[in-house]
Amino acid sequence: MANIQEIAKLAGVSSATVSRVINHKPHVSSETRAHVQQIINQLDYVPNINAVSLKKGATKMLGIVAPTFSDSLGTFLKNFTLAAQQGGYNVTLFLTGLDKQKELEAFERLRNKQLDGLVLVIRLNEWDVLESYAKYGPIVTWQRVEDRNIQSVFMNQYDGYMLALEHLYEKGYRKIVNAYGNTAGLNTKSREKAYADFCQKYDLNPNEFKHFYNQGHMSEGETMARWWVDQTHKPDAFVMATDYLASGLVTEAKRLGLSIPQDFAVVGFDNTLVAHLLDLTTIHYPIGKQGENAFIMIDNQLSKRTNPLEALSFHLVERLTT
Amino acid sequence: MANIQEIAKLAGVSSATVSRVINHKPHVSSETRAHVQQIINQLDYVPNINAVSLKKGATKMLGIVAPTFSDSLGTFLKNFTLAAQQGGYNVTLFLTGLDKQKELEAFERLRNKQLDGLVLVIRLNEWDVLESYAKYGPIVTWQRVEDRNIQSVFMNQYDGYMLALEHLYEKGYRKIVNAYGNTAGLNTKSREKAYADFCQKYDLNPNEFKHFYNQGHMSEGETMARWWVDQTHKPDAFVMATDYLASGLVTEAKRLGLSIPQDFAVVGFDNTLVAHLLDLTTIHYPIGKQGENAFIMIDNQLSKRTNPLEALSFHLVERLTT
């Protein structure tokens, strides 16, 4: 492919003049400009943008990092990407699976200036390791972190979870089973705290039933339906970590000939498509807006702006499972 | 941040020597190498990879372009990205919505050498426009194209659709309604052809019922359930463009008090999570493997390899809606 020197030679001008034409700089006569542009077009010359971004020191590229994107995290990915594109950035996707090295590779790209900023949806490495990269560019996470050089778009799960519990109480349910997600996460701790406070408020025994932890896959929801059948002392309601998990419980219950909410009530979490399809009562979680906020936080840091964040709140969506 | 010149000055060696150390090149004594490396570590110097890729002429970055990623296309995105990462590439995501300009921007990045190759899942611009970029790097599409400088991972929808029709016939259904996707697409034409051939084979009137076109959203499936109620001459089966569309039909039918498959049978397409949740009979469509094949095609072109593609075939998944 042609380079600036060849264009200069063919046009009979200096390389500096060619560069001024390419970069739309002044001090070139319109006649010379047209002549040089014609040669550029003939040669099908394209400036190498990697060289341009090398000079400018910004790649206008952001990274988004997660083990996988499914269900509600897909909405986060989409809204973050659309907001970034709107703001003049593109987004590189890093799927880490269970590979800590892959996660670090994304962070190394921040250090190497191949990314201007980074959103870490769900981490694999320790926070201390990841935080050490904060000096190379803005890092925002979806997870709850505090007292770190990493900003977070988290919402306090206590509030959303309490909405689910109060709704069940109002409907007359008193024998509630909780299915939590990742045990180690601060989100689970917030939900546990909500349940403890709820039990204290209404004088319920918080350990009347087993608590389920690390529940994620739909098949684990299916297993819980079969667990319910086997119990002699049966709970009358389930609060499930996600709609996806709740969907397994509800569909398996129907296959077993049970009636919901007559046999037991179910509340999901997230308000995804699956909740609409199965008429699940659930907690609406504005995860798309969190994706937009993640971009605003990064953009504010990179561009020294103070654009306001979207206001975020949970609300109950009552359907047919309570 | 430090640069090579500063490191050279502090180490008392030439810039060329520093460069040889950084790039692990020979002709530097181990003593000098250790000394230079120590200074590099002290200064926390990081080579700018954009400069490196500028020199090598390959960015090891691929693009994936689509209006949006939801449902089964999310699986395509995931599998393509995982395969690309495995092969040493990263993937930038371009969400085009309805913006033709955004699609062209992705193609311009191929021309500008910011991408080594590109997967176009669903196009917005004309093929002629997009094909003109094929000289800058490999382009692979999920859509059906023929006689173009663009490779495709498409599967012949005729085969999958015929599986659905033959299954309905075997089960005794004769009054079949078709809900097709994008009218302009070659996939729809293949499905129409399958239905025409099917009707001829069994001496059925292909125009006994209305054909639905451009059906995509779940709410359009819901509308079809209400349409069925209003008909005096009623069909006994529906073949739906996607599981997602079928899910609207099935859930609305249940809300209306209808029984499936007693009132009518439903076959979906794709075999996604939704089909499992709703016990939909559907056609399994190996869209994840198509994502892997898209990477193999690009990698074969970029690396002059001839790795074999995954074999792809449709199959019927019989559940409770037929």
Per-residue pLDDT of A72-99, as tens digits, reads 788 999 999 999 999 999 999 999 998 9
Q: Return the residue in B75, B95, B218, B255 with the most chain A beta carbons within 10 A, the one to mutate for interface testing.
A: B95
Shortest distance, CA B298 to any CA of chain A (angstroms): 18
Claim to verify: residue A146 and residue A171 sit in the same structural domain: no
Which residues of chain A does B274 touch, with a Cβ-Cβ cutoff of 8 Å?
Answer: 273-274, 277
Size of the A and B interface in Cβ pairs below 8 Å: 108
Q: CA A303 to CA A283: how far, in whole Å? A: 35
Q: Does A217 touch chain B (CB under 8 A)?
A: no
Contact B7, B39 (CB under 8 A): yes
Residue B282 pairs in a beta bridge with B317
CA atoms of A244 and A179, how far apart (whole Å): 12
pLDDT tens readout for residues B255-293: 999 999 999 999 999 998 889 989 999 999 999 999 999
Together in a domain, A203 and A234: yes
A219 touches chain B (CB under 8 A): no
The alpha carbon dihedral of A249, A252, A256, A260 has a sign of: positive
In angstroms, the separation between the Cα of residue A205 and the nearest Cα of chain B is: 34
Q: Does residue A206 have a cis peptide bond before it, meaning omega lies within 30 degrees of 0?
A: no
Residues 6+ apart with CB under 8 A from A5: A15
- Strands, sheet with A237-240, edge to edge from the N-terminal-most edge strand: A176-179, A237-240, A265-267
Structural domain for A70, as ranges: 60-154+288-312
Whether residues B295 and B276 fall in one domain: no
Within this chain, do residues B179 and B149 fall inside the same structural domain, yes or no?
no
Q: Where residue A242 sits, what CATH number does that domain have?
A: 3.40.50.2300
Q: What is the dihedral of CA B218, B219, B222, B224, to 10 degrees?
A: -100
CA B262/CA A279 separation, integer angstroms: 22
User: C-alpha distances in angstroms, B189 versus B17, B183, B193?
Assistant: 64, 8, 6
How close is the nearest chain B Cα to the Cα of A299, in Å? 18
Label residue A2 by pLDDT band (50, 70, 90): low
List residues bridging with A284 in a β-sheet: A270, A315
Identify the pLDDT of residue B4. 81
Percent of the residues in chain B that have a pLDDT greater than 90, as a whole number? 70
In the predicted structure, residue B56 carries a pLDDT above the cut 70: no
Query: Do residues A132 and A169 both lie within one domain?
Result: no
Domain annotation covers residue A108: yes
Do the strands B90-95 and A90-95 form a parallel or antiparallel pair, or are they unpaired? antiparallel
A305 and A130 in contact (C-beta within 8 Å)? no
Q: Is B78–A85 a contact, with Cβ atoms under 8 angstroms apart?
A: no
Residue B255 covered by a domain: yes
Interatomic CA distance for residues A190 and A185, integer angstroms:
9
A65-79, B15-29, B282-296: which is most confident: B282-296
Which residues of B fall within a CB distance of 8 Å from A53?
50
Residue B57 has pLDDT above 80, yes or no: no
- pLDDT of B33 reads 84
Quick check: B55 pLDDT over 80? no
Instruction: Kindly list the residues from chain A whose CB atom is less than 8 angstroms away from the CB atom of residue B319.
Output: none
State the pLDDT at residue A36.
84
Q: The complex's ipTM?
A: 0.78
Contact B92 A91 (CB under 8 A): yes
Higher pLDDT, B55 or B276: B276
Structural domains counted in chain A: 3
Give the integer Cα–Cα distance in Å for A119 and A186: 18
CA-based nearest distance A255→chain B, Å:
10
Chain A residues with CB under 8 Å of B277 CB are 218, 247, 251, 274, 277-278
Alpha helices in A120-262 (DSSP H): 127-131, 157-170, 186-202, 218-230, 243-255
pLDDT at B11: 86
Assess A19–B contact: CB distance below 8 Å, yes or no.
Answer: no
Is B53 among the domain residues?
Answer: no
**Mean of pLDDT values over A52-64:** 74
Judgement on whether residues B171 and B258 belong to the same structural domain of the protein? yes
- Half-sphere exposure for B150 (CA within 13 Å, toward CB): 26
Residue A54 covered by a domain: no
> Is A200 in a helix, a strand, or coil?
helix
A319 falls within a domain = no
- Residue B206 pLDDT greater than 80, yes or no: yes
Q: Angle formed by the axes of helices B30-43 and B15-22, to 10°?
A: 90
Do A67 and A110 reside in the same domain of the chain? Answer: yes
CATH code of the domain in which A40 resides = 1.10.260.40
Specify the pairing of strand B90-95 against strand B117-120. Answer: unpaired
Residue A34 in contact with partner chain B when CB distance is under 8 A: no
Asked whether residue B52 is assigned to any structural domain, the reply reads no
Q: Which of A53, A81, A97 sits opposite B93 (nearest CB)?
A: A81
CB B313 within 8 A of CB B286: yes
Choose among A51, A85, A111: nearest Cβ to B102: A85
**Quick one: A179 and A279 in the same domain?**
yes
> Which amino acid type is present at position A68?
T
Q: What angle do CA B249, B250, B253 make, to 5 degrees?
A: 85
B-contacting residues in A 254-293 (Cβ below 8 Å): 273-274, 276-279
Is B78 within 8 Å of A68 when comparing Cβ atoms?
yes
Question: Is residue A55 assigned to a domain?
Answer: no
